[in-house]
Amino acid sequence: MQETTFNEETQTDGTGVFTSTSAWLNALYTEASLKKFDELDLYHIISREISFAKIEQKINYVFKDKKHLIHAFMQSTFCYEMKEKNLSSNERLEFLGDSLINFIVGKNLFDLYKENNEGDLSKLRGALVNEEKLAELARTIGLGEYIFLGRGEFKSNGADKDSILADTFEALFAAIYFDSNNDIKTLEKTFKHIVDVFQDATKKYFYSLEQLVDYDTKSKLQELTMAAHGIFPTYKAQELPAGAGFHVEVWLGQKKLAEMSGVSKKKIEKLLAKQIIDQKLY
């Protein structure tokens, strides 16, 4: 692998900036020790050496201040790796971004489904604004390529974990909110663009009521097992070694109904519930 100094305008072969954060991190972590630079230098180096043009094109928004964008991608494990720099992670941005996305989706559902009551709209919003769905939107725009991760999380492919993708997606919207001078219209336009990209790629309507069927499978399975047997199913999860995810089993009393392994425990549980319902295993 070519040498990269992280303190020059170009790499040693004369090429320019890295095309993604993941490429920059790969160069950073392949060295014996982390590069030494202070916090201000770090932001300057990142903005100079990593091109964010691709992700800005995909979200249809160009940041006026790249520090807002970089901050949105600062996952806590990277900040811990660089703990002597006293960097701020994107966790506070996640908090605000969650509220902003809930507002945008809630407003769109309010306009789309005028005959549905508050309960229906709340359930549908919950089916759309959750870790799994936000991670799907994040993957649509290649968000994982730009997340700053600690060495361990980077090597274990943390950029493809639903939880990290969803959190970063929320942080991104808070960053856009601040960069656009608190302009909700800009946020709505950006979210619509990403949803359009998602719909074009998957051929699925994002705001479809069918989302409720997949989202609420665990509740549906509870209703079915209670009606048929008078008991609820139980989910037994075991964490796999080396951060490989989880192995989940679904039991009804003393009978094991189904089992599956995967990265996201919540996603596995919903997939298992759907499988049990579809195959009438209860």
Secondary structure (H, E, C), 153-218: HHHCCHHHCHHHHHHHHHHHHHHHHHHCCCCHHHHHHHHHHHHHHHHHHHCCCCCCCCHHHHHCHH
Tokens coding 176: 């856009």
**Among the options 49, 81, 94, 98, which is catalytic?**
98
Pick from 148, 112, 146: nearest CA to 128: 112
Catalytic member of 131, 162, 167, 170: 170
Q: Answer positive or negative: Cα dihedral of 272, 273, 278, 281.
A: positive
> Whole-angstrom Cα distance, residue 58 to residue 61?
8
Looking at the DSSP assignment, which residues form a beta bridge with residue 74?
148
Is 170 known to be catalytic? yes
Which of the residues are catalytic?
98, 170
